[in-house]
Structure 1
Amino acid sequence: MRRALTGVFALAAVLVSGAGWAAPVQTAAASTPAGLGGQVLQLVLGLLLVVGLIFLLAWLLRRVQGVAPGNNQLIEVISSRAIGPRDRLLLVQVGKEQILLGHSPGDIKALHVLTEPVALPPGNRPATPEFAQQLLKLMGKDHKDKR
């Protein structure tokens, strides 16, 4: 992975440094509208190259880490309830077992292991962090679409 990223960064450095992209040096007096258009074109192409490289690296990183979208986690938060400004109760599914956890800053305690799993009502979404919920709402996406 390190070799692949090093190779991609080296290629990007060569392309951005101006190998084949460098415009001839012009003085301020010799600058013409056509020269200005060439500079703007070079700027836009360079910007597109950098943005494309960012997307390529994000895709490559996702492929290398094996992060696949979907619900293939062994540990899943089924429900979450705030019981104070910084304290929460979490219902966690681990395999076929459900555990009720108490979470406070710097401490997590198993409060109860449920002998009979709690069935979620249909249409109930699993708990997500508040920030993620707000971001999905602002983006106009429904969390149910990810399943």
Structure 2
Amino acid sequence: MKKLPWAVLGMALALPFSVLAATEPAAPAATASTAAPAVAPAVNSGVAGQLTQLVFGLLLVIGLIFLLAWLLRRVQQAGPAGKGQVIDIIGSRALGPRDRLMLVQVGNEQILLGLSPGSITALHVLKEPVQVPTTDKATPEFAQRLLEMLGKDQKDRK
């Protein structure tokens, strides 16, 4: 998904304000002959208001589209993580910006895959599965210490 250039976005935001600046301020009606021109700026400001509302509505819809695209991408990356999966990803290593190695377990076999933008290639089927150490989902050291400090502070306050 390509990003909008900042210049286009700036012009889209500045357009309603340039229309507002181009309208003439309404002069007080002194006579009946000047009443007709006083109506024209009111019509112009109505058009400017409608144009402003249109542009902001358009920007809101475009923003909503980008938000939904971002949410969809996030949900697809998470994927269905549940029990009963036949294929498990054991590990992954990036080789470059678009190339990567993945170790996948299917049943009792582990397969080393090479992924590139247009293809997936089985590089090696391991005879003996690689034993991956199981680690408890430990909190990072900073978070753990912060929780300890917060726990001590709460104990001290009681």
Would the TM-score normalized by the shorter structure come out above 0.5? no
- Normalising TM by the smaller chain, what interval? 0.3 to 0.5
Which one has more relative contact order, counting CA pairs under 8 Å at least 6 apart? 1
In terms of fraction of residues, the more helix-rich structure is 2
- What is the TM-score when the length of structure 1 is the normalising length? 0.36
Structure with max Cα Rg: 2
